[in-house]
Structure 1
Amino acid sequence: MSIKMKDIQFQTASYEQWKEEAIKALKGKPFESLFTKLAEDVTLSPLYTQETLVDKIGDELEKQIATIRSLKSSEGLQAAQQIYGDTSEQFFSNLEDSIERGNNCLTIDARTNFEWNDTNLEKLATYLVQNPFKFIIQNKNDSLLQVFNKIENKEKVQGFIISESPIELDGFENVRTVSANTVTYHYEGANAVQELAIALAIAAKEIKDGDFEQFSKNFFVNFAIDTQFFAEVAKLRAFKVLWKAFAAAYGVNNPVAIPVVAENSLRSYSKLDVYVNLLRAGNEAFSGLIGGADFFTVHPHDVLSKPTDKSIRIARNVLLVIKEESQVENVLDPAGGSYFLETLTAEFVEKAWALFLEIQENGGFDAYVESGKLQESLEKVYNDRLKAVQTRKQSLIGTNIYANPVDELPAETNAAFASIKRLAIPFEQLREKYSATQPKIAILTFGKLKDFKPRADFVSGFFATAGVSPEQSGEILTVDAAKEWLQNANYDYVIVAAKDEDTKELVPTLLSVKPENLILDAAGKYKDEESAWLENGLNGFIFAGQNIVKKLNEVLESVKGAQQ
């Protein structure tokens, strides 16, 4: 008797059954090891089910989904690529090219290498009448703002102006000039919850006359989207839920949608292995698309030094490929109904609203900033991020892991982004220091290849982050041979890489014969032997979970001291 596939039913497993099987698979590791704590003080579960979602949100789920879908400002994601150019001629040539190649919104940073004189302003004005724009200016005195004096058809002009304080424009009803620009705080270390709360607090600060409807027509938010894919999707979705709650506090139950302007974050960008930045940009742009951003800027992978025509075009095409070929835009709220993302969205809403209320109870945004509480909280999150990268709990591919030691730092620096507190900066500084000092480093590999290779590879990867490729001794099979190699070694610094039992036998002997100016370390952790070895002249240890930047700086200082 044949069985039809459509008649087959699979038994549904409960969370408890799954948990039981997971514990077996962990082979002694605690089940809690499967949980992940985010910077937002939210703990991710290894599995989300319909039951866990209902337990978390309950009857509010449908309201949350409906709110997110109703408060999308535009139908799709618009490319808002930045225009570059060293001269006005180059700038306008690039501007024209970007429009022809799919740019929807002209993003212009007023900090250009050329002057915004009358000729350039009049030329720019002709483009603004036909194309939406995003201006990034410093203050109301910025010369770029004079372009609006060159425009007569004010009603045709649509755009956004990002500034430290709101700009007043008479007659330009379709130009939004009041922004909650959270990008500044993002680069100070803010997590998703803090960015959301800050956005609401800035909005509360800027509603001066209580006319919520008029304010809504002039307001927008500007977010930076980082590499934490699902957290960033949840952040964008959470803003819409928070905006409805915020509007309700002003007596508005059906608020208009607020445009969400976004850009990919440079916090995780590195000057090392710059093409990895391209992958980060794609990841961030896709989360922006799924999360419901309206306008998105992708920074070129070499923007920290100097973008080229090629890198600018690649950046624009990253967004266009994701937007046009993924088919995501054909789906209304593609993240809607996901057990994981709906739960995460709700948790962000809950925590961000609580922080927003705390800010308001402390006198509002300005008072909260002046009290130092905001800066203190941002610094804590930033330092936690930095520590996670330096101990490899968080990966920066090509920088703190899988680093290419032959990568060279670019000589040029883009001044517009030089002040960003990027996570890769300490590693870039390490490269510069090691390049200047040129220490001679080697690994003493003891035993057979299969015995020392894991630790030797780890040590090589450790030093690759500083741009160093340590030489290796090859197989050394006896203690006497190791002693001879070390005594004849022409190195400043040597790391012993071997099995635990071999290392314990080898190190005390090597310490008794090593040259005075040679720095010796051991790969691994040896709690019982540590004190005695250090007393007898061992410099230290290299092991997983160690602060790479701190250790490598200490090594360099030790080498410099020995060389003097």
Structure 2
Amino acid sequence: MTEKLFKDFPPVSTQQWEEQIVKDLKGADYDKKLVWKTPDGFKVRPYYRAEDLEGVLHVRGTKEDNNWLVRQTFVVKDNLKEVNALVLDALQRGAESVGFRLETGRKLKKQDIAVLLQGVYVPAVELSFEGMDCSGSDTLYAFLEYLKESETDPSAVRARFSFDPLGDAFFKGTELRKEDIGTLAELVKACRTYPGIRVVSVPGYKWKNLGCGVVQELACSLALGKEYIDLLTENGLSREEAAHALHFHMGIGLHYFLEIAKFRAMRVLWNGISEQTGSVHATTSFWDQTAYDMYVNLLRGTTGAMSAALAGVDSMEVLPFDCVLTEGTAQSTRLARNIQVILKEEAGFNKVADPAAGSYYVENLTVSIVEETRKLTEEILQKGGFAAQQAVQWVHEHIRATRERRMEKIASGREVVVGINKYPDPLGKAPEGLATLPEEKWQRASASFEKMRLKTEQAPEIPVVFLLTFGNLGMCRARAQFATNFFGVAGFNVVDNNRFASVEEGIEAARKRGAHIVVACSSDEEYAAAVPLIFRSLGKQAIVTVAGEPPCKENLMAEGIQHFISVRSNLLETLLQYQKELGL
């Protein structure tokens, strides 16, 4: 069909769209209903048009295709042969990049590296060594010895090391040891004959795991990257050599389009700083992982991987769905790896370069992130950068404020964590090992809710919540569903009922069930007469609660009813108060 039909469909102007939107809103506030404010504070409009791209910087990819490397990371303790076997298996099953995370204080000797890489054709695999600081530089020199002894072509080696003295000082709360920058410069110089080895790591993922926004993650990473270029230049390297020594390890969050735009914005900003495209590895964020209902993490990993792939990262790792509790089992690591394999081999995400280019929405998001990140990066550098305590303290406070805002939204239910503060699995139980989880594993978005639910499960008796449904069928069922989700979040045993023929029948059933909490579920109009009766009958043996905020609330409170749940309730605070009153 070659006939053009555009003449039959006259264009609709932005003004016409806006007039129709205002009409459909029926008086509701436009900004509150349709304009989204990101965690970083900038606003996102409900739609964009071609005219919004006029005068806008267009971001383009830098690769001929959209290929990336699938990474899998292994923890290295004294289990060198075991890790080697796992590496060989992973390489046969889709991994193209291998990470070795060294146990704290662990250094690798040449013979250790030989064991880890036995049977691995180094030119065909990207390698990453993580977990060491500048005092562990012996590992890099041992790797260089191994390469020389094995007569590996220097131009074919691709390796990443996680030396990051500035970042280490920031996250550990210590001061930078100035000699570490000199050590770092020497490490870069030692790798001059190996153009594929990048020594300095910029750990954007660590800021992501603090709960920051995309602008904060980018600004901290870019400021740190620029600072390394300046410091390494002062220690005898050219700016080009210093920039080439860096690689970025970024996090992948759950805001799908924001994450696509974040990585695209990063290309623009880093090129402006270094005149290079940079090397970007991305890992799904640990901050977003949950211990309860952990199979949902597979979906989180999939959407995260899709956003990073579409944005054009160089390599990627999807965390195993059980990463909160383990280093990954055979099943969970296989599933994590296969998420990327499917995106490449079945969905073809690696075929088209920069597929998001030209999207009105993504291009405008990219520009917004570029503008906001540039301002925040400059502010960090003006305060002295990460070598200055003033800047370090300011960044900590800046991120803490964002994290607290996000945690408040999660606590109130305005930001949803599936399976945690909404749609909980009523039959789900705490996975083995959750009660003894080390403190650093609790630094996640879902942690407060998981601790609360674990507390319920550890009680001698699980509280019973009885839904006393009566009256208007539509309202009683809607409020029963809300209450089921509300109390299910805390792991309470919720007993639902279709609808009682009378309030008295419901009262008798609740009494027989021995409920700890009785929730009245009906319409506002029926609460005025029914709830006082329920309270007089059951108030001494159970906490009588009203689902909703009826107009008669003040009158009910005067009768002694003090518990009401609604969409305006702070979910976490309210449930913790119930636990307290029940003696949990």
- Provide the TM-score with structure 2 as the length reference: 0.86
Partner residue in 1 for 2:49? 49
How far does residue 486 in structure 1 lie from its aligned partner after superposition? 5.3
Counterparts of 1:537 and 1:485, CA distance in 2: 22
**What does residue 322 of structure 1 align with?**
343
| Equivalent residue, structure 2, for 1:546 | 569
Gaps of 5+ in 2: 166-180
Greater shift in the superposed pair: 42-51 or 139-148:
139-148
Q: How far apart are 1:257 and its partner, in Å?
A: 1.9
Equivalent residue in structure 1 for 2:363, among 342, 353, 358: 342
Q: Aligned pair 1:242/2:269, yes or no?
A: yes
**What 5-or-longer segments of structure 1 have no aligned partner?**
248-254
Q: Please list, as runs of the form range in 1=range in 2, the aligned pairs for 1:194-343 lying within 5 A after superposition.
A: 194-207=216-229, 208=231, 209=233, 211-247=238-274, 255-306=275-326, 307-343=328-364
Deviation digits for residues 201-237 of structure 1, max 9, x if unmatched? 1122212225211112201111101110110011101
Note the C-alpha offset of 1:17.
Answer: 0.9
Deviations 1:90-113 (A, max 9, x none): 321110011111211101211299
1:137 aligns with 2:159: no
Following superposition, the deviation at residue 455 of structure 1 comes to 0.3
Provide the residue aligned with 1:11 in structure 2.
10
Shift of 1:513: 3.2
Separation in 2 of the partners of 1:114 and 1:180?
21
Contact 1:111-1:416 within 8 A present in 2 as well: no
Residue 251 of structure 1 is matched in structure 2 by none
Aligned with 1:111 (options 81, 103, 115): 103
Cα 1:430–1:159 change in 2 (3 A) is: same
SS of the residue corresponding to residue 545 of structure 1 reads coil
Residue by residue, what CA displacement relative to the aligned partner does 1:440-461 show, whole Å, maximum 9, x if unpaired? 2211112254341110011001
- What are the superposed Cα offsets for residues 366-408 of structure 1, whole Å, 9 maximum, x if unpaired? 3266552111111111111112222222222222211102112
Q: 1:479 to 1:49 in 2, by over 3 A?
A: same
Deviation per residue, 1:55-84 (Å, 9 max, x gap): xxx1x53xx43xx434x5986211112236
Change over 3 Å in CA distance of 1:420–1:240 after alignment to 2 = farther
Aligned residues: 542
Superposition deviation, residue 5 in structure 1: 4.4
| TM-score normalised by L of structure 1 | 0.89
Contact 1:448 1:477 in 2 (8 A): no
Query: Which position in structure 1 is the counterpart of 2:560?
Result: 537
Deviation at 1:432, TM superposition (A): 0.8
After superposition, give the CA deviation of every residue in 1:149-179 in whole Å (9 maximum; x if it has no partner).
Answer: 4331462432111244275262344211112
Secondary structure of 1:179's counterpart equals strand
CA distance in 1 between counterparts of 2:480 and 2:387 reads 53
Give the share of equivalent positions with the same residue, in percent. 25
Correspondence for 2:147 among 146, 151, 157: 151
* 2:72 counterpart (54, 66, 81): 81
How far has the Cα of 1:23 moved from its partner? Answer: 2.4
8 Å contact kept, 2:281–2:315: yes
1:250 corresponds in structure 2 to none
CA distance in 2 between counterparts of 1:8 and 1:103 reads: 48
Deviations 1:483-529 (A, max 9, x none): 54555552221111111111122122233333424211110013x54
Deviates more, 1:420-429 or 1:85-94: 85-94
Q: How far off its partner does 1:350 sit?
A: 0.7
Aligned equivalents of 2:557, 2:158: Cα separation in 1: 68
Following the alignment from structure 2 to structure 1, what is the Cα–Cα distance between the partners of residues 49 and 512?
A: 63
2:11 and 2:569 map into 1 onto residues whose CA distance is 43
Question: Following superposition of structure 1 onto structure 2, how do residues 507-522 of structure 1 map, counting pairs within 5 Å?
Answer: 507-522=531-546
Structure 1 stretch 361-370 or stretch 335-344: which is displaced more?
Answer: 361-370
> Residues of 2 paired with 1:294 and 1:199: CA distance?
17
Q: Which moved more, 1:380-389 or 1:343-352?
A: 380-389
CA contact (8 A) 1:290 1:335 kept: yes
Out of 66, 72, 86, the residue aligned to residue 94 of structure 1 is: 86
SS in 1 for 2:582: helix
- How far off is 1:533 after superposition? 3.0
Match of 1:292, as an amino acid? G
The 10-residue stretch of structure 1 (237-246 or 405-414) with the greater mean CA deviation from structure 2: 405-414
Cα 1:115/1:174, change in 2 over 3 Å: closer
- Structure 1 CA distance, aligned partners of 2:5 and 2:220? 54
Q: Whole-Å Cα distance in 1 between the matches of residues 438 and 282 of structure 2?
A: 18
- Out of 166, 185, 194, the position equivalent to 2:207 is 185
How has the CA–CA distance of structure 1 residues 297 and 480 changed in structure 2, closer, same or farther, with 3 Å as cutoff?
Answer: closer
1:289 Cα deviation after fit: 0.9
- Letter of the structure 1 residue corresponding to residue 128 of structure 2: K
Query: Is contact 1:452–1:497 with CA below 8 Å preserved after alignment?
Result: yes
Q: What secondary structure, in the 3-state scheme, does the structure 2 residue paired with 1:560 have?
A: coil
Which residue identity lines up with residue 43 of structure 1 in the other structure? K
Where 1:190 maps in the other structure, the secondary structure is coil
Give the secondary structure class of the aligned counterpart of 1:328.
coil
- Given candidates 438, 444, 447, the residue that maps to 2:468 is 444
Aligned CA distance change for structure 1 residues 479 and 407 (closer, same or farther; 3 Å): closer
2: CA distance between counterparts of 1:292 and 1:416? 35
Q: Does 1:384 pair with 2:376?
A: no
Q: Distance in 1 between matches of 2:139 and 2:335?
A: 27
Name the aligned partner's letter for residue 132 of structure 1: E
Residue number in structure 1 paired with 2:173: none
**8 Å CA contact retained: 1:221, 1:258:** yes
Let me know the Cα RMSD of the aligned residues: 2.8
Does the CA-based 8 Å contact 1:268-1:423 persist in structure 2? yes
1:266-307 superposed Cα distances (whole Å, 9 cap, x missing partner) = 221111211111111111111111111101011111111122
Deviation at 1:364, TM superposition (A): 1.9
Shift of the 303–144 alpha-carbon distance from structure 1 to 2, 3 Å rule, reads farther
Is the contact made by 1:402 and 1:461 (CA closer than 8 Å) also made in structure 2? Answer: yes
Shift in Å, 1:115: 9.1
In the other structure, the counterpart of 2:499 is 475
Does the Cα contact within 8 Å between 1:74 and 1:294 map onto a contact in 2?
A: no
CA gap of 1:405–1:114, structure 2 versus 1, over 3 A, is farther
CA contact (8 A) 1:85 1:94 kept: no
Question: Which runs of structure 2 are paired with 1:335-484 in the superposition (5 Å)?
Answer: 335-367=356-388, 372-412=393-433, 418-419=440-441, 421-437=443-459, 438-447=462-471, 449-472=473-496, 474-484=498-508
The answer (yes or no) to whether the contact 2:76–2:102 under 8 Å persists in 1 is no
* Aligned counterparts of 1:133 and 1:518: Cα–Cα separation in 2: 61
Is the partner of 1:289 in helix, strand or coil? helix
